[in-house]
Amino acid sequence: MKDEETQNRKAEHIDIAVEKDVNAKTMTTGFERYHFRHRALPEQNFKDIDLSAVFLGKSVVTPFVVSSMTGGTEKAGLINQRLAQAAEKRGWAIGTGSIRAALESEKVAYTYQIRPLAPSVPIFCNLGAVQLNAGYGPNECQRAVELMDADGLVLHLNSLQEVIQHEGDTDFAGLLSKINDLCKELEVPVGVKEVGWGIDGPTAKRLFTAGVSFIDVAGAGGTSWSEVEKSRTQDPVKARAAEAFSGWGIPTTTCIVDVCRRNPGRHVIASGGLRTGLDAAKAIALGAGQAAFGRSILKSAVVSEEALAETMAVKEMELKMAMFGIGATNLEDLQNTDRLIVQGEGKTKSPF
């Protein structure tokens, strides 16, 4: 019964994310506050712009990541196949949704097994960190990695979602020490991400000290999982309470700046409401090493392979155009640019 419950939840999450307005209310990512000072004479050839990056020990053609989103149902399996094929073709890293469903029932494992379709790009599996308090440990995590032939594992933090979710696990006590132990024992790098309410600098520092290899800030301003779970819950108290949190969280840009400033030299992924390659350019200029997209590509993946390919190509073009517009030839140039400005201040804003 537990595995069926998990699979039903996965199916509902896809439908709600695609069909309903579950964006954060009264909260923005903060990207609208930043703009680039145009360089009229870039002194470069657009064709020479290099988007290549390194993640989980592998070189990739772009700094883009397909965020952890889905798995566990036939429909989710088809979406993951499309995402994996596109990620391989275009050189994006890719994660899947929580692999808990496959650990509970091997019959849905195929919906996560995307390695044959994406043999060269970095792949990471994903599990709720709270499961470390529910009987999951290094053995289960290693099994998840092997099941997907993954290059890394991401633990997601979703405390408020678990409170609203009627099947939720809300015991987040003592997780840091268990994350520390897992990082020591797992054979692949471990990352941590939020689900849309953001990670701040001090929290990231504690996680890095515990052995985490990278942080995905997953800030606020995009999909709100309190809104998603409000659409699912049958509990009127939880539904009404969820409404108060539709604007909860730390804006994505605030997360990026805070985490990067307090953790120099660490690998940071920017996600949480990124909609365009221009958003990604701003995120990287603020200090992130990569930019991840979720719901903004999920809708295309549901439609068709062609729609997904076009959506991804547009984001790549937008990033290249932003770099061309400021004279940045590669990601290092973009990260070190002095041409990012905070609107209203009338001067260049250094993220550090």
Q: What is the pLDDT of residue 11?
A: 62
Q: What is the pLDDT of residue 17?
A: 63
Q: What is the pLDDT of residue 349?
A: 46
Cα(232)–Cα(341) distance, integer angstroms: 41
Residue ranges in the chain whose pLDDT is less than 50: 346-352
Question: Both tokens of residue 194?
Answer: 């939020």
Q: What is the pLDDT of residue 273?
A: 95
Kindly report the CA angle at 200 between 194 and 202, in degrees rounded to 5?
125
Q: What is the pLDDT of residue 5?
A: 60
Closest to 197 (Cα-Cα) out of 154, 175, 226, 171: 226
**Coil, helix or strand at residue 184:** helix
Q: What is the pLDDT of residue 345?
A: 54
Which residues, in sequence order, are CB contacts of 34 under 8 Å at separation 6+? 253, 282, 285, 286, 340, 341, 342, 343, 349
Number of Cβ atoms within 10 Å of the Cβ of 10: 22
